[in-house]
Amino acid sequence: MYEHIIVPIDGSKHAMLALQHTIQLAQNEASCSITLLHINPHISINEVAIGVDLIALQEEEGRLILADAEKLIVGTGISHKSECYTGDPAQLIVKKAKEENADLIVMGSRGLSLFSELFIGSVSHKVVQHAHCAVMIVK
């Protein structure tokens, strides 16, 4: 039923639970691939951080988060890849799902950014509204 599943990973426990559910789904499919997707949000600061490359730190953190997630997939036989971008998480998740013709997006109900969720609206809510494919939200 599912050939390609997108799993946004932000390091939260909900994202890791979403990945565990995705692995179970993919193991029941004949040929299903998974794309792990980490989106670094744009950094907006008022003061310059002297001597600190915030973008490099953010990219390194993203690679570490993806590496932790990949540990769950290795050895399962499921085809997968990992991608890291910077931008608006909801927009990029929807865009990548469409570009890759994904059948399903599986994501956690809450990410690490509770403050922005309260005032801007949750990433998962925006993805559900704009995705071209089915979206599974894992609690």
pLDDT for the residue numbered 44: 63
Residue 73 Rama label (left phi>0; alpha psi -120 to 50; beta): alpha
Predicted TM-score (pTM) of this structure: 0.87
To the nearest whole number, what is the mean pLDDT of the chain?
A: 87
pLDDT for the residue numbered 78: 96
| Cα 111 from Cα 11, distance rounded (Å) | 8
pLDDT class for 55, splitting at 50, 70, 90?
confident
Q: Report the CATH number at residue 70.
A: 3.40.50.620
Percent of the chain with pLDDT over 90: 63
Domain membership of residue 122 as a residue range: 4-138
pLDDT class for 112, splitting at 50, 70, 90?
low
What is the total count of domains within the chain?
1
